[in-house]
Amino acid sequence: MNLKQLANEISTVYMQNKKVEAVMLGGSVSRNWDDEYSDIELFIFWKEGPTEEDRKLPISTLDGEIIDFHPYEEEEWSESYITNGVKLEISNFLTDTIEQIIHDVTVTFDTNLDKQCLVAAVHDGIALGGEGKVKQLKKKVEVYPEELSVAMIREHLDLGNRWNNREALLAREDWLMLSKVLTDVNTQLMGTLFGLNRLYVHHPAFKWQNHSLDQMKIIPPKAKERFSSIFLEKPIDRVREIELLIAEIYQLVQKEHANLDLSDLMNRMQFLRPKN
């Protein structure tokens, strides 16, 4: 099934409501990353808050089967349903809320990943209705701020104290905790690379990692294969590989941001818990 075509047809139902200012396609479908497991993510921008009836009428019109229907929380109304055998994820926002979130990320350089994901959705999204409004929003996010790049690097290049225990975890064969540490470090390195490459993070858990790395120009050699190996190789090889990745990413940061002093962070990363 052509998910973009279905999304376009569904958008016309939402645009019949005069409170709706725009409908935008997001997620993997908007980025051409979709596969047989993908759903359709629609962002509905409202001039005023939708009622329960406003939200349920399109589902009824489309003969949809509701999966989830959440009340207003964290500035969003969200629901999911199935129609024509396809799952729809609907995110409803006031347009004013989206504009404030864009301001937070692009003007005050807020690194909050949930906010950044919404900005990424606007940046990569496809307008299905209210094209003028979506175009205005896209204009506000088209330039990735240098200050946000620095803020992301500073925040995510800090790997935390548990990384310093890696040799002890290897010696003790404490695989569960070691796996958690390696996953956390992997996550932090991805955050660093997003900032370094001036890309808005599109998922708080860095979903679609390989596609993300394909978008990046400033990465270590064979980054996709090496990040994958962190989850596939022997524990000691996983640790050594991520140590190399850390060093190489640090060098890339230093080359791109020569005036950024990260010596304290690097010293903490290299510290190892001493033996008795």
pLDDT tens, the chain, 276 aa long: 799 999 999 999 999 999 999 999 999 999 999 999 999 999 999 999 999 999 999 999 999 999 999 999 999 999 999 999 999 999 999 999 999 999 999 999 999 999 999 999 999 999 999 999 999 999 999 999 999 999 999 999 989 889 999 999 999 999 999 999 999 999 999 999 999 999 999 999 999 999 999 999 999 999 999 999 998 999 999 999 999 999 999 999 999 998 888 777 766 666 566 666
Give the per-residue pLDDT at 221: 97
**DSSP state for residue 261 in the 8-state scheme:** -
Angle between helices 95-106 and 113-124 (to 10 degrees): 110
**Which CATH architecture best describes the domain 3-141?**
2-Layer Sandwich (3.30)
Give the per-residue pLDDT at 204: 95
Contact between residue 72 and residue 24 where contact means Cβ atoms under 8 Å apart: no
Give the per-residue pLDDT at 272: 62
216-252 b/e with 16+ CB inside 10 Å = b?
Answer: eeebbeebeebbebbeeeebeebbebbeebbeebbeb
Q: Which residue has the tokens 């620095």?
A: 150
Domain boundaries, the chain: 3-141, 146-270
- 3-class DSSP state of 184: helix
Question: Rounded to whole angstroms, how far apart are CA atoms 20 and 14?
Answer: 7
Q: Do β-strands 126-129 and 65-69 pair in parallel, antiparallel, or remain unpaired?
A: unpaired
Give the per-residue pLDDT at 64: 97
Question: Rounded to whole angstroms, how far apart are CA atoms 200 and 153?
Answer: 13
- Give the dihedral sign, CA 216/222/225/227: negative
- 3-class DSSP state of 201: coil
β partners of residue 79: 69, 90
